[in-house]
Amino acid sequence: MGLAGTADKERGAAGYLRLMARTVFLLVILLGATAASRADGLLGATGYKMAGDATKMRIVVTFDREPDVKWFLLRGPSRLVVDLPRTRFALNAKDVKPRGLVRAVRYGDQGKGSRLILSGKGPFAVDKLEVLKNDDGSGYRVAIDMSAASEREFDEALANQSLTTGSTVSTDKGGRVGTGPISAPGHRFTVVIDPGHGGVDGGAESAGGTVEKN
């Protein structure tokens, strides 16, 4: 065998060893995150996948055990909020990079629970959100199917949501401003301002990008 053939074999072996080393490293990280979540009692979010385009998206989040999931919609911008038990998120930053119908992905701890927030580039419909057991038996996944919708369709979904969940979603702030007469001169009253929105959910934004809390 010539020197060139020997060099090619050595490069091939070195590349194989590097690939194996990276694979083992990723497995160690994944197993370590899973073990840590079990040790502290937290639910472990171990993976995130998102595929689709500006009209339809499918999001799959994997967990080390079955999650108790509650979800609802918010506007300004259009958002899907998924509430979870306290969760340790071990997600790859590249996997959660926005694409297609999704403008932003945020997640984090809320104190008594955790939250995943998907902001749309426009109004959307949640076609399906379900919790499924993984085929290999190693945990569960939350599968979310979303599709682009009109403002009217999104508002209808919000209206239906408010009927079924009561206080989960509030009306537009404009609809809560009083239209009656102002109190008589000299009568003391209190004005309460609620800019709110810290932590994982930054709150409402105007069409020009102004954030409500600012």
Token code pair at residue 73: 């919609």
C-alpha–C-alpha distance, residues 114 and 110, integer Å: 5
Locate the domains of the chain by residue range. Answer: 43-168
> What is the third-level CATH fold of 43-168?
Immunoglobulin-like (2.60.40)
**What pLDDT was estimated at residue 149?**
96
pLDDT for residue 176:
39
- In order along its 214 residues, the chain shows pLDDT tens digits of 555 555 555 566 666 777 776 766 666 565 655 555 455 789 999 999 999 999 999 999 999 999 999 999 998 889 999 999 999 999 999 999 999 999 999 999 888 899 999 999 999 999 999 999 998 888 999 999 999 999 999 999 999 988 876 544 433 444 434 444 444 566 677 776 666 666 677 766 776 777 777 7
Give CA angle at 213 (116, 168), nearest 5°. Answer: 45
The whole-number pLDDT of residue 76 equals: 86
Going by their DSSP bridges, the two strands 43-52 and 87-89 should be labelled as parallel
* pTM greater than 0.75: no
Chain centroid to Cα 26, Å, comes to 23
- pLDDT value of residue 169: 40
- Amino acid 180: pLDDT: 43
